[in-house]
Structure 1
């Protein structure tokens, strides 16, 4: 749906000041998730403090490049939607094993080859899009949102492993952030409503400082400049077993990215076809190859930022492109990254609960287009796919006796839910579509925007 300028809101260029604030809001929402993976891998590989800092900065730098590639697009790369890129958690387990067995060069060798395979497979994988009618996409988006909610809840309680986990102080700070966001959305309109999450985070930061929850100690010692040099940890090692494991991870990533792309498409009212999906998945592959070269990891769309798009109603892809520029700057200027890292988990938790809940609500909204009366089989598709998708969330040890090679898939609720929905839809409804869903899509076309202010 075009605006008064004749452009789709996704392609609208906003004033520089608003671009920066909206972009910063996205960076604050994804920062904790972005640095978690390099911290885990650094610990497994036994890296020094200096090497760990370099790994984090390399990751932020490559996050920014990957986000720019996805949002702006080059040649046949990039889905050109407000999609921010980050390291996939699906790769953590195999990368920890590689770090212990062969160090960082083994990880980066497998990442480069897996990225290349993803790039080449993208046009073939996108042909599976016909197996994603509303009954499937709605189920997948709902599972994505519900799977993310524990992250926000744990942040609100102070973060997993915190000795004061669940402290009333943490919960109060998170509550203040959440209430601030709700009040802003209730009483304010336009620009101020669109930066409601950013204002909520700033209010939370102001409250947290006198409570002693904000630690700026590392800012003074952090260097001003840090250059990300290719193959900093040595020449990549191409181990066949590691490569196969990483390719399996990227197949999982392609399923998850497809769900995220479709969720974003629903929120910004933009059709996602085979061509768009191919461009998006190619960008994932190219960014992952780049990650292997620049000492980083496999990249995918960050689902938490999907919720932020829905919560704010800001649809411009150039906003997230600005996030990419900020991430590149953070990678090049470690002192800036350290300041952003000072944001307490409890503050992030208040915003996280709202953002992740919005993703789940968006999935429910998509499911509202599905006819459950004329086709009662759709009820089973939704029920079973969400139920199986939540198994890793409610029972983390459920699949612990399954073979090691299967753990990457079985520990991803999003992948389990997606595969279940696709298989059940094909079983009950045939090739992936049914007339009822097509009719509903026609009737409801033009009414899929998530929120307007």
Structure 2
């Protein structure tokens, strides 16, 4: 039976008209983050505007495919969890390096091969996931929450590098958006409470529109319908580039482990199963290979959407699947995607602050469930203090080879993950109960 209450059930049947707002809420939470990596890469590498517009289309379609496979697995590929996928920021630095020095063809070749490697790792996850016990996953989830806070703050202020960064306009719009989200979350009930982020975004958008912060120019510049461009770059295969990208894929896999663990802990109120984790990783990898065929960088699970699911409690797969449908429309009908890009960064920042905080809260909850033994205290405290501290002073990595800098210098999640795994392996078990 289809009822609105089923939005809080993984497999409940939900009426389409009631599911769509929840899907739209997820799209709005991740849309700008999904297309931003390819926009930055295109600007740095020097890709012409017409092709850049096609790549933005492709980003939407790839995110849609990845989300649907996570929700409704193909064989062992996909987790069957309410995970929303999108283009990863984690690969941006290495993508720019390879794209500038060796060309986009070499980058796409590395993305395709690396994705296959990560996908195979996901299929074999049961053999190595024992290296990631609950306390390690909890530490990684907490580090993801901390790593997202500057992103939310930068958006709140107008977006890093924006001419009006930190302006009074951005402060007003961001604050009103955040306050609306908070008041809706605290005082609204039932259906409306679960849509607190969407309500905040609508109020913030209307305010920004009244303040002249929304630009509608260019909505029809790319036509009303366009098919995705397949193989915009001819793949070339260079061993050095492939190894560099595979190293980042391993980092991306750890983020997926953390995101899927946080989702199960925060939204589903249980621990993740190894089959689900392996499926999430394999989807990450194999869909990233498809992404390379369409000229896009790798895909991954989006932490902001994990935070949204935890905050709203909406985990219904069909409701989340409507977000994939909206992204597909955004890819096939350019004006839809372009309209979503008109949302000011300050509005998105006001929405995401609370969502990112909910990921932190999920991490703290996972740590509490693991227990506060001396051994766990050492794993968590040393991993987080080193990972967050060292990457905040990234210049200290300058004595290391470039590949080490690329992986670790500005990626606290990678540092935290490696340290947590090593500490879990080397610390004596007799410290568990002390």
Q: Place the TM-score, normalised by the shorter chain, in its bin.
A: over 0.9
Q: Which secondary structure state, in structure 1, belongs to the residue aligned with residue 90 of structure 2?
A: helix
Give the drift of 1:273: 2.5
Secondary structure at the residue paired with 2:252?
A: helix
- Contact 1:127/1:274, CA 8 A, preserved across alignment: no
After TM superposition, give the deviation of residue 270 of structure 1 in Å. Answer: 4.5
CA gap 1:308/1:329 in 2 versus in 1, 3 angstroms: same
> Is 2:257 aligned against 1:258?
yes
Alignment of 1:193-342 (within 5 A): 193-233=193-233, 235-267=234-266, 268-342=268-342
Does structure 1 conserve the Cα–Cα contact (< 8 Å) formed by 2:141 and 2:258? Answer: yes
Distance 2:264 2:344 in 1: 32
In 2, the alpha carbon distance for the partners of 1:224 and 1:202 equals 24
Partner Cα separation in structure 1 for residue 16 and residue 379 of structure 2: 45
Distance 1:413 1:429 in 2: 25
User: CA–CA distance in 2 between the matches of 1:318 and 1:270?
Assistant: 20
- Following superposition, the deviation at residue 81 of structure 1 comes to 0.6
Shift in alpha-carbon separation, 1:38–1:124, aligned structure 2, 3 A: same
* Greater alpha carbon shift after TM alignment, 152-161 vs 239-248: 239-248
1:289 Cα offset (Å): 1.2
What residue is the counterpart of 1:448 in the other structure?
none
Q: How does 1:333-372 map to 2 (within 5 A)?
A: 333-372=333-372
TM-score calculated relative to the size of structure 2: 0.94
Cα distance per residue 1:20-46 (max 9 Å; x no partner): 110110110001110111011101221
TM-score under structure 1 normalisation?
A: 0.90
Q: Which runs of 5+ in 1 are unaligned?
A: 438-453
- 1:345-394 CA distance string (max 9 Å, x none): 0000111111101101111111222332xx22221211111112213653
| CA–CA separation in structure 1 for the residues paired with 2:12 and 2:315 | 8
Q: Specify every segment of 5 or more residues in structure 2 that has no aligned partner in the other structure, as ranges.
A: none
CA contact (8 A) 1:155 1:345 kept: yes
Q: What residue number does 1:184 align with?
A: 184
Question: Alpha-carbon deviations, 1:133-153, whole Å to 9, x = none?
Answer: 332222211111110010010
What is the number of residues matched between the two proteins? Answer: 430
2:398 alignment counterpart: 400
Instruction: State the 1:70 CA deviation.
Output: 1.0
The Cα of 1:335 is off from its aligned counterpart by: 0.5
**1:4–1:134 distance in 2 versus 1, CA, 3 Å:** farther
* Residue 426 (structure 1) aligns with: 425
The RMSD of aligned alpha carbons is 2.2
2:94 corresponds to: 94
TM superposition shift of 1:103: 2.3
| 2:377 alignment partner in structure 1 | 379
Is this contact kept in 2: 1:222–1:338, CA < 8 A?
no
